[in-house]
Amino acid sequence: MYERIEGKIISQEPISHIGETLSTIAQFKREKTLFRGKIVEIPVISGNALRGIMRRRGSFRLLEMLDIKKDQLGEDVQHALFSGGMLKKGAGGGTIDMNFIHELRTMLPLMSVWGTTIGQQMIGGKLDVGQMIPISCQTAIRTGIESNISIHSLLDEVAHTRRDDMEDKPKGNDKDAQKQQMRYQTEVLAAGTEFSHYFTLKDCNELERGAFMATLYQFMQYPKIGGMSGRGFGMIKMDYEIDEAAVEKYETWVAENVDQIKAYLAKLGQL
C-alpha cells in the first residue's frame, strides 16, 4: 500500500541550493521543464537534500530516546544510521540474507523506512521524498498549481566577500587588503517562495509509519535546508499534518524496548 502525503512549503529565509559554479557565481540547481512549447530551466531543491537532513534528525532523536551518544556506536552503525551506510569491500557478490533484513526492519523501523547498507546487505527504503518545486507559471505542469508568478522573479543573487585569514599578519595598504578579499555571488530563491512537495510511504507498517511521522515532527521544529544555514539562510515553514497517534505509538514502542534496541545496535557493530 502506497500513501502519498502532500503539503506546501514556504521559505522564511532565502534558500541556497547550489547546482554548479560559474566563475564567481554559485548557481541554483536547475532542471529542464517544458513551458509553452519551449524548454526552460527551473530551480528545484532535490528530494535527496531533504531526505538526508531528515534521516539525521530522526537518528539523533532515536539515540536521544535510547540515552546513548553517536560516538558510542560502531563506525559502520553510525554510517548506516546517519548517512545510509556503505558496502564492505568484497560485498558485491554477497547473498541476500532475508533473516537479517527482517530483523533489522523489526528492531529499527526508522532505518527500515529510510533504507541503509551495512555489512554485505543493502536494505531498500520505504520512503520517496519529492523535489521541492517552486510554485510559478513555469512549473504549473509539474505542480498542478496555476500561478501568475514568473520563476525568474523568485531568483536573486546575494553578494559575499571572502577574506583570507590575515589576523596574525602585519597590515598592509588598501591594495593589499583588496587582494586578500574575494567577492562572489550565490543565487538564491527569495524568502516567501512557495513550494509544492510530497512524501510517499511504501508498504509501511504502523511502527514504520510512526517513525516517519516522528522524524517529520522533529524536522518541523527547526526546518532548515540548503547551504549557509548558519548565516540566515534556509529556514522554511512546512504545511504538513502530523499523525500524533502514530508518533506516540512509535516512541512508546522505543521506550518499552530500549534494552533490546541497544543490544541490537551493539550486535550490528560487530558485523
For 102-159, write each residue's pLDDT tens digit. Answer: 999 999 999 999 999 998 889 999 999 999 999 999 999 999 999 999 999 999 888 8
Residue labelled with grid coordinates 549557509:
228
- Which DSSP symbol is given to 132? B
Quote the pTM value: 0.87
At CA 27, angle to CA 231 and CA 145, rounded to 5? Answer: 90
Q: How confident is the model at residue 199 (pLDDT cuts 50, 70, 90)?
A: very high
Question: Is 183 part of any domain?
Answer: no
Q: How confident is the model at residue 167 (pLDDT cuts 50, 70, 90)?
A: very low
Question: Is 166 part of any domain?
Answer: no
Question: Is 34 part of any domain?
Answer: no
Question: Is 21 part of any domain?
Answer: no
* Residue-range definition of the domain harbouring residue 67: 2-13+44-157+191-268
Going by C-alpha positions, the residue among 53, 31, 51, 50 that lies closest to residue 41 is 31
**Residues 158, 150: Cα–Cα separation, whole Å:** 19
Q: How confident is the model at residue 95 (pLDDT cuts 50, 70, 90)?
A: confident
Q: How many domains does the chain have?
A: 1
Question: Is 162 part of any domain?
Answer: no
**Residues 151, 95: Cα–Cα separation, whole Å:** 48
**Residues 243, 127: Cα–Cα separation, whole Å:** 16
Give the alpha-carbon dihedral of 199, 200, 206, 208, to 10 degrees.
Answer: -70
Residue labelled with grid coordinates 548506516:
80
Question: Is 209 part of any domain?
Answer: yes
Asked if residue 64 lies in contact with residue 110, where contact means CB atoms within 8 angstroms, the answer is: no
Question: Is 19 part of any domain?
Answer: no
Residue 166: its pLDDT value, please?
45
